[in-house]
A and B are shown apart, each in its own frame.
Chain A
Amino acid sequence: MTELALSRGSLDRDRLLRLLQDYGVYAGVLVLLLFNFAFTPHFVSTENFRTQAVQVAPVLIVALGMALAIGTEGVDLSVGSVMALATSLLSLYLGYGPWIAALTAVIGGIVVGVANGALIAFVGVQPIVATLALMVAGRGLALVLLPQLKDVRDPGLASLGSGDVLGVPYLVLIAAVLAVLVAFVMRRTTFGRQVLAIGDSRPAARLAGLPVRRVLIVVYVCSGALAAIAGVLATARLTASDPTSLGNLMELSAITAVVVGGTPLTGGRVRIGGTVAGAVLIQLLTTTLIKHDLPPSWTQIAQAVVIVLAVYAARERGRR
């Protein structure tokens, strides 16, 4: 790709920016990987890669739902609270067996998604406010259901959290399957096209006869369900339910992953591959800083700079 740009004249600024926006996140991941290969001791080990992948899985799953919401020119701030709600429901219903409990948790996420979607699609509330209300209420509800941290002792969930197939942890496998699924839906199905059309222009989509309201509700239901799945998986990995802190600031991490991955906040375009790479990039960035003994304060400042740069790159396309 770079060669192509050079042959057409490297001064073509628009083209370069476009390349940066489309492939910048992959380049970023590559640079960070190379840097770590060269300068971080004990980075190249199966164990380390496993840890990184397991850590990134929940963020990635939440970011997939967020990408859909952002694709419709919306946003879902309630995802962190949905994770907390899921972990509360999971440990409340664990007595009925892990599958029923996990199912209940996901249903909880779907209910929140329906509420979000109904507020946005039928009442016409802006996504940021509607999901803000559910974010506040959802976290409260999670704490009402389960006031404090509780150990989750269940062999089924424990194996889900720490087991693996051929060395690949279940968590990573599930995240990968969901990413492929969402990518397929966005690329190959009518629903995916409708999401993009609505994100491009809601009035135009409505005039073209698309079921705008139904699509919006399904999008927020997907986002809620994916966040709940992430909550279940995170609980399984931690073998504890902690509704106070689970999913805190998750909405920010997810939005960052989506935006860094090249999905514009203005809707009409969703990049699932970029979102995956965006989540990995943030994870690698944090790891790199931590492994080189830089304090958390630096990690946060670095993350802030990356967000602004990513949005700046995305802006150029929007303006052309």
Chain B
Amino acid sequence: MTTQTEEAGMPADTASPKDDDPGRTNRSERLSALAQQHGALVTLVIAMAVASLSFDTFLTGDNLENMALSSAFLAVVALGMTFVIITGGIDLSVGSLFALGGVLAAWGSQYGTVVALLLPLAVCGLIGLVNGVLIAHVRLAPFIVTLAAMLGARGILLAITDEGSKTYLVDKDSFFATLGQGSLLGIGVPVWITVALFVLGAVVLRGTRFGQYVYAVGGNEDAGALMGAPVARTKISVYTLSGLCAGLAGALNAAWLVSGVTILGSGMELEAISAVVIGGTLLSGGFGFISGSLVGVLLLKVIQNVINQIGSLDSAYQQVVSGAFLAVVVVAQTWLGRRRRVL
């Protein structure tokens, strides 16, 4: 709701006379598109280069592996979030769903791997579906619906864990635990799963009709509907997808920790949104890409890792840096986006 009106209000006050020159606008448009697509990647490379020059411990196998593993779970959540944000929506429930998925998986693991995976997917997917229906058919604001789902899912989590006092454990020798703890060719299984999901996500978004609908709904809902995009179905699908991703990430995380920790996931929605936005996806919808979100997640984790390496710095600095970084990216995006939109 908010996003669209913001959008509509933009062009009038941003058109500046110098953008009338067609040759110049064309070039600057291409440049800003490049900056928007690859800015995060360039920053990531620079950050990693600086970090590896400054700290001997940064570019070691152990450290990189740790970073990859801790990125994997957030990345899966950010993957679903990217679809939602491209449709111009937002999903605040993912942090709660991540925690709920973990607890359900840990509880379900006593009945085998299939239950441990399917139960969180079913429950979190269902909550995502309800979000989608409320947003698409009842036409409530995504922000408030998913906010309610965030509270509701956290409530369900507390209800099934004795008000958060009970932690379900995963059998260390079960196949489910190897999904989190095992490794293949020296790289952790969750990292492989994450990479596979991102490839799949990119193919779906770029190469399928559903992907086109996602962009169409986010670009202009009414125009999308007139062109025959099934707006309601697309919206329901992306919120369901986001719920599934959050539930799966939670389940993998529980397999990694071999327990369903109840206090996880608070603030994760903000991290995921930050990662997606840093990756170049516009919160106003209609523009974005999957690979950017992965870069955004990695960038956040590198910042976190560097601040941990400095040691003398309190981990609170990480939040200050992440927040400031988000602000800078958003300002840059808005500025670049303006020039693009003037055309």
Binding site for B on A (CB under 8 A): 73-75, 119, 123-130, 132-144, 147, 201-203, 206, 252, 255, 259, 265-266, 295-301, 303-305, 307-308, 311-312, 315, 319
Residue in B140, B148, B327 with the greatest tally of chain A CB atoms within 10 Å: B148
Q: Is the CB of B2 within 8 A of A123?
A: no
What A residues does B154 contact at CB under 8 A? 300
16 interchain pairs (CB within 8 A)?
Answer: A123-B335, A126-B283, A127-B2, A128-B283, A129-B330, A130-B330, A132-B273, A136-B322, A136-B323, A137-B322, A139-B319, A202-B9, A297-B156, A301-B156, A303-B151, A307-B151
Given A129-B330, A143-B314, residue A308 in contact with residue B140 (CB < 8 A):
yes
Interface status of B331 (Cβ within 8 A of chain A): yes
Nearest CB of B to A190, in Å = 21
Given A132-B326, A136-B322, A297-B155, residue A311 in contact with residue B140 (CB < 8 A):
yes
What A residues does B149 contact at CB under 8 A? 304
What A residues does B156 contact at CB under 8 A? 297, 301
Q: Is the CB of A135 within 8 A of B158?
A: no
Q: Is the CB of B144 within 8 A of A259?
A: yes
CB proximity to A under 8 Å, residues B135-171: 138-141, 143-145, 147-152, 154-159, 163
What A residues does B320 contact at CB under 8 A? 137, 140-141, 144
Interface status of B38 (Cβ within 8 A of chain A): no
Nearest CB of A to B280, in Å = 14
Given A123-B335, A147-B316, residue A300 in contact with residue B6 (CB < 8 A):
no
Complex partner residue of A300 from B12, B138, B151, B338, CB under 8 angstroms = B151
Nearest CB of B to A263, in Å = 12
CB proximity to A under 8 Å, residues B280-327: 283-284, 314, 316-324, 326-327
Please give me the residue from chain A that is nearest to B284 by CB atom.
A126
Query: Can you name 15 extra interface pairs (CB under 8 A) apart from A127-B2, A265-B141, A296-B158?
Result: A119-B330, A124-B6, A128-B3, A135-B323, A143-B316, A143-B319, A202-B5, A203-B8, A252-B147, A298-B155, A300-B152, A304-B148, A305-B152, A312-B138, A315-B139
What B residues does A308 contact at CB under 8 A? 134, 140, 144-145, 148
What A residues does B64 contact at CB under 8 A? none
What B residues does A119 contact at CB under 8 A? 327, 330-331
Please give me the residue from chain B that is nearest to A304 by CB atom.
B152
| Distance between Cα atoms of A165 and B8 in the complex (Å) | 51
| Distance between Cα atoms of A19 and B68 in the complex (Å) | 55
Interface status of B14 (Cβ within 8 A of chain A): yes
Q: Is the CB of A124 within 8 A of B155?
A: no
| Distance between Cα atoms of A140 and B155 in the complex (Å) | 27
| Distance between Cα atoms of A147 and B316 in the complex (Å) | 8
Secondary structure call for the A interface: helix
Residue in A123, A127, A139, A259 with the greatest tally of chain B CB atoms within 10 Å: A123
Q: Is the CB of B9 within 8 A of A203?
A: yes
What B residues does A315 contact at CB under 8 A? 138-140
Q: Is the CB of A134 within 8 A of B327?
A: yes
Q: Is the CB of A295 within 8 A of B163?
A: yes
| Distance between Cα atoms of A304 and B130 in the complex (Å) | 13
Please give me the residue from chain A that is nearest to B162 by CB atom.
A295
What B residues does A75 contact at CB under 8 A? 2, 143
Interface status of B49 (Cβ within 8 A of chain A): no
Q: Is the CB of B323 within 8 A of A73?
A: no
Complex partner residue of B323 from A133, A298, A319, CB under 8 angstroms = A133
Q: Is the CB of A136 within 8 A of B326?
A: yes
Interface status of B334 (Cβ within 8 A of chain A): yes
What A residues does B283 contact at CB under 8 A? 126, 128-129
Nearest CB of A to B129, in Å = 15
What A residues does B158 contact at CB under 8 A? 295-297, 300
Interface status of B59 (Cβ within 8 A of chain A): no
Interface status of B274 (Cβ within 8 A of chain A): yes
Q: Is the CB of B274 within 8 A of A136?
A: yes
Interface status of B177 (Cβ within 8 A of chain A): no
What A residues does B10 contact at CB under 8 A? 124
Nearest CB of B to A306, in Å = 9
Complex partner residue of B155 from A74, A137, A138, A301, CB under 8 angstroms = A301
Q: Is the CB of B330 within 8 A of A136?
A: no
Please give me the residue from chain A that is nearest to B2 by CB atom.
A73
| Distance between Cα atoms of A73 and B4 in the complex (Å) | 11
Q: Is the CB of A132 within 8 A of B141?
A: no
Complex partner residue of A128 from B5, B90, B138, B321, CB under 8 angstroms = B90
Interface status of B277 (Cβ within 8 A of chain A): yes
What B residues does A300 contact at CB under 8 A? 151-152, 154-155, 158
Given A203-B8, A297-B163, residue A129 in contact with residue B277 (CB < 8 A):
yes
Please give me the residue from chain B that is nearest to A147 by CB atom.
B314
| Distance between Cα atoms of A139 and B318 in the complex (Å) | 11
What B residues does A133 contact at CB under 8 A? 323-324, 326-327, 330
Give per-residue flags for B5-32: 1 if the beta carbon is below 8 A from chain A beta carbons, else 0. 1101110111000000000000000000
Closest 5 CB pairs of A and B: A137-B323, A140-B319, A143-B316, A300-B155, A297-B158
